[in-house]
Amino acid sequence: MKKQALFLILIGILPIYILHAQISEGGTPVSFGLEIKVEEIPVMVMPTVNVEVLLREDAQMEAEGVVQRPFRFGYAHDVDIDVKRAGTKKELSDGGTLWLLKIHCPDAFSINLIYNHFRLVYGSKFFIYNEDRTMVLGAFTPEVSNNPYNEFATDLVQGNTIVLEYYEPKGSDDGVININKVIHI
């Protein structure tokens, strides 16, 4: 009975948290209207993932009757990446500031991120997009993305290189975006 009650509570809470983590306002990243050279953006390169070894591990677990929960769809690199410290900083003509950072996962089909410290300031916008700009997530704003836990997760972005872009308006510098897991899909 207690397990059923806990299950029902989790079913009621989990979708709210997941939906909250993915709400965005749309729009176009600020950098798309600027002349920023791709070479100017620093790149965090993740270690190569040996997919064959992971597939063998999965097959062994399946043969032993072990059910993976949750199902492994990628490899989680444990990281500690502060976007504002690791990224390049650009002062803009409107007085705002733009931070840009690339993350590269060799041979990945897509990448998603989990953040352990995430707090955007009023007027800020956060985007993630693939290198060829064919897939854009965001704008994530404080009104829809901040939560009491200061944690966040973003959906999969196609490709093996993604760009993180964070804009803060003039007079702001208190936003925090820290990634603790880069998921190589």
The whole-number average pLDDT for the span 32-61 is 90
Q: For residue 177, give the DSSP letter.
A: E
Are 148 and 16 a contacting pair, CB within 8 Å? Answer: no
181, pLDDT greater than 70? yes
**What is the side-by-side order of every strand in the sheet holding 110-119?**
75-82, 176-184, 110-119, 152-158
Residue 97 pLDDT class (50, 70, 90 cuts): very high
Higher local confidence (pLDDT), 75 or 7: 75
Q: Which of 25-39, 71-85, 108-122 has the lowest mean pLDDT?
A: 25-39
pLDDT interval class at 136 (50, 70, 90) = very high
Check whether 91 has a pLDDT greater than 90. Answer: yes
Distance from C-alpha of 168 to C-alpha of 36, rounded to nearest angstrom:
17
Q: Where are the domains of the chain?
A: 2-184
Distance CA 70, CA 168 (A): 36
Quote the pTM value. 0.84
What is the spatial distance between Cα 182 and Cα 106, in angstroms, rounded to a whole number?
12
Question: What pLDDT score does 22 carry?
Answer: 66
How far is 125 from 32, CA to CA, in rounded Å?
14
Listed residue (161, 154, 158) closest to 179, CA to CA = 154
pLDDT at 4: 41
| 109-121 confidence digits (pLDDT tens) | 999 999 999 999 9
- One CATH from 2.60.120.290, 2.60.40.2470, 2.60.120.40, 3.30.430.20 for 2-184: 2.60.120.290
Whether 128 contacts 165, CB under 8 Å: yes
Token pair listed for 174:
């208190």
What percent of the chain has a predicted confidence (pLDDT) above 70? 88
Name 4's Cβ contacts closer than 8 Å, sequence gap at least 6. none
Average pLDDT over residues 20-40: 83
* Contact by Cβ (8 Å): 118, 146: yes
- How much is the mean pLDDT over the chain? 87
Per-residue tokens: 160:
């093996």
In this predicted structure, the answer to whether residue 8 has a pLDDT above a threshold of 80 is: no
pLDDT-based confidence at 73, cuts 50/70/90?
confident
| Highest mean pLDDT pick, 20-29, 36-45, 164-173 | 164-173
